[in-house]
Amino acid sequence: MTDSDNLQLSRRRLLGTVGAAGAAGLVVGAAGGAGIAAALPGDDTVGAGGAPALTTVGSTAVMFHGKHQAGITTPLQSRGHLVAFDLAPGSGRKEAAALLRRWSATANVLMSGKAPAQDTGVALDAGPSSLTVTFGFGRTFFDRTGLTSRRPAGLDPLPAFSADALDPRRSEGDLWVQIGADDALVAFHALRALQKDAGDAARVRWQMNGFNRSAGATAKPMTARNLMGQVDGTGNPKPSDPDFDRRIFVPAGGAQEWMAGGSYAVVRRIRMLLDDWEKLPLDRQEKVIGRRKSDGAPLTGGTETTELDLDKRGPDGKTVIPDNAHSRISAPEQNGGAAMLRRPFSFHDGIGADGTPDAGLLFVCWQADPLRGFVPVQRKLDRGDALSAFIRHEASGLFAVPGGPAEGEYVGQRLLEA
Amino acid sequence: MTDSDNLQLSRRRLLGTVGAAGAAGLVVGAAGGAGIAAALPGDDTVGAGGAPALTTVGSTAVMFHGKHQAGITTPLQSRGHLVAFDLAPGSGRKEAAALLRRWSATANVLMSGKAPAQDTGVALDAGPSSLTVTFGFGRTFFDRTGLTSRRPAGLDPLPAFSADALDPRRSEGDLWVQIGADDALVAFHALRALQKDAGDAARVRWQMNGFNRSAGATAKPMTARNLMGQVDGTGNPKPSDPDFDRRIFVPAGGAQEWMAGGSYAVVRRIRMLLDDWEKLPLDRQEKVIGRRKSDGAPLTGGTETTELDLDKRGPDGKTVIPDNAHSRISAPEQNGGAAMLRRPFSFHDGIGADGTPDAGLLFVCWQADPLRGFVPVQRKLDRGDALSAFIRHEASGLFAVPGGPAEGEYVGQRLLEA
């Protein structure tokens, strides 16, 4: 067998094996005619030279149908779009139902790597690239559709936080769509297709673009880093935790049965004041967070996943992890076990009007109940987090994300057609 | 051997083989302590689940030193930043030389996957990820540094084009930096490090962010697609062409010897009027371009790389590729063999002030002489390109990009210290 044969075999095997070991809810395989070609990079065309052929980056497809919507426990994708829509004047429940039906059909087609009718072609050649599309309803949706009585308590407005500097034009919205993919053109393609589906029924209220690390860029699967350079997401609950479902997903049998299997997304555009942050010496940055920058380990020692020793004191008698350290204040054990699943994208929109980088975190967190997830933690952070001097919450949204659709069903059907 | 052993072996072999077959000028290998770990995705941490470990995506390093600067013939990267700086008042030749020395040192460190002093940490964990940093000088640089007599004729201002709608605040600049990488955090990290190096010597004039397809997202190495969905870059000269160097790089022995081995970059922010474009039916889009959307083949038949049959007529007696088709007008054979190497990024900055997508192409093209590369082609396009109704040139820059630095040298040293 030549090296080249070997390589082809290996790559097929690689795809198959990784597929089997992949995260729950993922189907690895070629879709939409994008065969798993093991072409070697013998072509010296600029733009193609050393690039590997379709790998799991492109071939991974996420299922649209299921108990929960995709894009919640799906591994972080390298590219994302968050979009809020408002129903157009004159659009009510009927138009909203038709829109969700169109959107669901399109999301299903796109997530399997196929092209919708009258396609723009932007995603041609590419595999599904782990595309996910996730739909949610904002508080205002229910009045506009005559469904006020079915609005869940989980959509009660978030309390005001003293450090908030929210721009209402980039906050909230009747409908929310989260798009994620491991290819920027695949994500953009989905964004345009869904915008087109909106037609006259809804208008874009705001839209934000984000990104995460590329698959394969790190030596091993790592917890993400944010644009401050911090390991970010260490304390996240894991789908294998016994109480994961209870904390993240709405159980059946609640006051609003249509939300069974759903979750609440809190979305915050958190600007990072990077010019200020980067002037801070490393040891002071680490005290702000309470963790080492290099590997995310607590300042009290160990590795990234070692628990914080909140009582440990240094030679100066002070706690090693300062009282206002971000990791202390946000630690679940300090918040009655509150847990949310943070699944953010970084953003970078160039240079802001004030001359500083318009960059930071598109914070997206998931929980069965915002009053037990985001709210208590943010209340505490708002009071005394050392990090707050270096960030600014510029926009906010709270959305009810219904459970995943069964085959033949569209997202939100249990609300809109009950 | 278990499947798992096999997988580890395969992946190492994969890295080695692809490395050997990679494009000239690339060094594949672990750098900066990011070893090639063949970790299997057994960890079910959200955000890491199915992600492969460090692959060529992360481990590929591009050499900083060489005959030409990196980022010209380097395969397209999935993420890019273009930044222009103006020298600060009071900064002259001495300060510019010190800045280029700092920048070169930082670029060399970053491109090898190492961290600079007082690092922000944003790229920690990641391999070099094909990072390239490319430096150029704008026309105004030479007056500000007292080097007017050494300004090359290639920097004479581009002619005005009738369809231009250029924003001077986002055009030109004393200095230009192009950053590309296959990981968004690696690219952002480099951007911030280089901005910090600028210190008080230079200020950001404008900055743009772009992207291309992710490596591994397509079934085989493909010519890129743009956000209109068109295959874009088919006619690009290839480094293996006998006259490639002559067309793209400045030869030794010219009027400005410091530019030997260098090239000229024309940078245009080309907004795509996607709302209008996407309303056009497929067959009309294809007539605007003169190529099939699906595979980029000429409307006169064949495959992507088949030459256009410019004389072929259809049953209606008209040329199959219309007289105003973009591909006809820009064909090298229609422009005295003019050739430039187009190496763009797409951009998407959300929704513009006019409510339409602020998206399009960060067009970057390379040539030994702009008057024989970009200018004649753009002149013709400006007169009769059917595509011009769907695009708008919003910003423009022309930069002299000197040859690559020898070991121990910094970029531009031959200009600044002669």
Residue B266 forms beta bridges with which residues? B365, B398
> What's residue A283's pLDDT?
97
User: ipTM more than 0.85?
Assistant: yes
CB contact under 8 A, B54 and A294: no
Residue in B75, B120, B227 closest to A46 by CB = B75
Angle at which helices B184-198 and B93-111 pack, to 10 degrees? 160
Q: What is the pLDDT of residues B361-394, one digit of tens each?
A: 999 999 999 999 999 999 999 988 999 999 999 9
CB contact under 8 A, A223 and B48: yes
Residue in B10, B75, B185 closest to A14 by CB = B10
CB contact under 8 A, B56 and A52: yes
Considering only CB atoms, which chain A residues are within 8 Å of B39? Answer: 219-221
Low-confidence stretches of chain A (pLDDT beneath 70): 1-54
Best mutation target among B18, B220, B295, B343 (most A Cβ atoms within 10 Å) is B220
- Over 50: is that where the pLDDT of B42 sits? no
H helix intervals, B244-325: 244-248, 274-279, 282-289
B53 confidence band (pLDDT: 50, 70, 90): low
Type and span of the H or E element at A383: helix A374-384
The gap between the terminal CA atoms of chain B, to the nearest Å, is 62
Share of chain A above pLDDT 70, in %: 87
Tokens 């919450």, located at residue? A393
Share of chain B above pLDDT 70, in %: 87
Round the average pLDDT of chain B to a whole number and report it: 87
Query: Is residue B57 within 8 angstroms of chain A, CB to CB?
Result: yes
3-state DSSP helix/strand/coil % of chain B, to nearest 5? 30, 20, 50
Query: Is residue B109 within 8 angstroms of chain A, CB to CB?
Result: no
| Residues of B designated as active site | 232
Query: Is residue A386 within 8 angstroms of chain B, CB to CB?
Result: no
Closest-CA distance, A300 to chain B, in angstroms, reads 20
> What's residue A20's pLDDT?
28
The whole-number average pLDDT for the span B203-224 is: 91
Query: Is residue A6 within 8 angstroms of chain B, CB to CB?
Result: yes
CB contact under 8 A, A182 and B214: yes
> What's residue B109's pLDDT?
98
Q: What is the pLDDT of residues A133-148, one digit of tens each?
A: 999 999 999 999 999 9
Q: What is the pLDDT of residues B135-174, one digit of tens each?
A: 999 999 999 999 999 999 999 999 999 989 999 999 999 9
Closest-CA distance, A12 to chain B, in angstroms, reads 10
Considering only CB atoms, which chain B residues are within 8 Å of A79? Answer: 211
Share of chain B above pLDDT 90, in %: 79
Best mutation target among A8, A196, A218 (most B Cβ atoms within 10 Å) is A218
Considering only CB atoms, which chain A residues are within 8 Å of B236? Answer: 45-47
Considering only CB atoms, which chain A residues are within 8 Å of B207? Answer: 350-351
Q: What is the pLDDT of residues B271-291, one digit of tens each?
A: 999 999 999 999 999 999 999
Tokens 């082609």, located at residue? B377
Closest-CA distance, A417 to chain B, in angstroms, reads 32
pTM for this one? 0.89
CB contact under 8 A, B14 and A14: yes
CB contact under 8 A, B126 and A213: yes
- Over 90: is that where the pLDDT of B357 sits? yes
What are the angstrom distances between the C-alpha of A2 and each of A9, A53, B8?
Answer: 11, 19, 19
Type and span of the H or E element at A362: strand A357-367
> What's residue A53's pLDDT?
57
Considering only CB atoms, which chain B residues are within 8 Å of A351? Answer: 204, 207
Considering only CB atoms, which chain B residues are within 8 Å of A220? Answer: 37, 39, 53-54
Best mutation target among B7, B9, B170, B213 (most A Cβ atoms within 10 Å) is B213
Contact criterion met (CB below 8 Å) for B80 and B180: yes
How many CB pairs below 8 A link A and B? Answer: 363
Of chain A residues 67-86, which have a CB less than 8 A from chain B? Answer: 73, 75-76, 78-79
CB contact under 8 A, A41 and B49: no
> What's residue B99's pLDDT?
98
| Residues of A designated as active site | 232
Considering only CB atoms, which chain A residues are within 8 Å of B56? Answer: 50, 52, 216
Query: Is residue B60 within 8 angstroms of chain A, CB to CB?
Result: yes
What are the angstrom distances between the C-alpha of B31 and each of A230, B48, B60, B114, B124?
Answer: 21, 22, 9, 7, 12
Q: What is the pLDDT of residues B238-263, one digit of tens each?
A: 999 999 999 999 999 999 999 999 99
B47, closest residue in chain A (CA to CA): A75
Burial B320-338 (b: 16+ CB within 10 A, else e): bbbebbbbbbbbeebbeeb
CB contact under 8 A, B18 and A52: yes
Backbone region of residue A65 per phi and psi (left: phi > 0; alpha: psi in -120 to 50; beta: other values): beta
Contact criterion met (CB below 8 Å) for A359 and A346: yes
Cα Rg, chain A, nearest whole Å: 22
